[in-house]
Amino acid sequence: MIHVAQLRLLLERSFSPLACDCTVSGDHSLTVKLYHPVSGEVDLVVSGLNVTTLNTSEAVVALIEELRYELESNTLHRPDPVR
């Protein structure tokens, strides 16, 4: 299992300029929040991730890819079709 501080650093590097908060609850579920560091505007929050599955670099890369997909799929980031 990766340390939460290491995961946060990897996510911030992968999603720069966004900041990241990673929290682990008592049942070992992970919540990841990606947000703008200045405005605090939240771009993505994903909860219920099993932190014990993040025990290899491949698992962390897969998580980053999933988060990237979710972030890109977020309708708030799509260009306004009216323009």
Under the banding of pLDDT at 50, 70 and 90, the label for residue 82 is very low
- CATH 2.40.50 for domain 4-74, yes or no, is no
Question: What is d(CA 25, CA 37) in angstroms, rounded to the nearest whole number?
Answer: 23
Query: pLDDT, tens digit, for every residue of 20-62?
Result: 999 988 888 999 999 999 999 999 999 999 988 888 889 999 9
Q: How many Cα atoms occupy the beta-carbon half-sphere of 54 within 13 Å?
A: 21
Under the banding of pLDDT at 50, 70 and 90, the label for residue 4 is confident
Domain extents for the chain?
Answer: 4-74
Q: Residue 65 has what DSSP assignment?
A: H
- With a threshold of 0.85, does the pTM exceed it? no
